[in-house]
Structures are given as structure tokens and as C-alpha cells.
Amino acid sequence: MLGKEMKYKYLDADDFHSESNKEKMGKGIPLTDEDRMPWLESLRDATKEHIVNGNSVILGCSALKKQYRETLRSSDPDYKLGSYETSAVSFVLLEAPAEVLSVRLKKRAAEGTHYMPASLLQSQLDLLKIDESEGILRVDATLSPQSIVKTIIISIFQFQDSFHSSQC
């Protein structure tokens, strides 16, 4: 929905998981950092392809740890470690209570649109670490999809305006 509204290419990180990762999650086994690294690298490479060609892209991804986000930020050829405010890569955290997320996961599993069981949700939430210095936009994911999209778009344009003003 956000990709359509902004007219950006949308990539779903779930489409980049290896079959072995999907099988592992399907069995209720949490992924390790070693399982995730090839996946993150493929996401980085796909995102980088868009960035170097001057195109904007939205990646739907559970970048749970700073280390994972740093891998994704490196898709910006000009990114310098820790220079979050000048990176071409930004992150939005869609926040919702665990109960809400569990209901949504169960619904997707029942519809056959996701392979991760809700039993893995807590392991994901346990991994989620946000460093406030990263400037990650937090959005209430219990809002309507339209309100979420509007909030993200307004925030992105405010960030871009403040960034460009500081460059003058």
C-alpha cells in the first residue's frame, strides 16, 4: 500500500528467504544470525540495485537488530557507519502489542500467506533492539492502514525537508 501511494518499488523480505529458512521457521525453529546473514545480504544487494540506479524502494523487513539494519544501510554506497541521518536508507518500526501481532500472524498462516507460526513471535520480539540514535520512525501499527501510510509519508517528507535544509 505504501509503495503504491509513493510510487516506489516494494520488496517483501519474506520472498528472499531460502527454502531451508522457510522450512526451519515452518517447524517453529527460530533463525540464527548465521541463517539470517545470507538473507540480509540478498536484501542489501536487491535494495542497492535500486539505489545505484537512482530509484527509491520500500523493503518490508523484520530488521530486528542494529547489526541487521547496518547490513541493509550498506546498500547505500555513500553510507558511513553510524551516519544514520545522511543515509539513503531509513527505517520505520510498525509497533503493536504482541497480542495484536499474534492475531495477525495466525490470520496470515490460516490464509496460507505466511510460513512462520505465531509460536515464533516472542523470539522475534526478544531480538528486537532499537537504538534511539538510529532515528527510526515509530508508527502505531494498530491504526488503519491508510493512517499508517499517511503518517509514514508525512514523516518521510518532513525528514527530507529538514535534511536538505541542513545541507544548505
* SS3 category, 15: helix
Contact 44, 75 (CB under 8 A): yes
What class, spelled out in words, does domain 2-167 have in CATH?
alpha beta
The strand pair at 9-12 and 137-140 is best described as unpaired
Encode the chain (168 residues) as per-residue pLDDT tens digits: 898 888 899 999 999 999 999 999 989 899 999 999 999 999 999 999 999 999 999 999 999 999 999 999 999 999 999 888 888 899 999 999 999 999 998 998 888 777 788 888 999 999 999 998 898 999 999 999 999 999 999 987 776 555 444 444
pTM of the model: 0.86
Instruction: Provide the residue ranges of all domains of the chain, joining segments of one domain with +.
Output: 2-167
Identify the bridge partners of residue 10 per DSSP, sorted by sequence position. Answer: 58
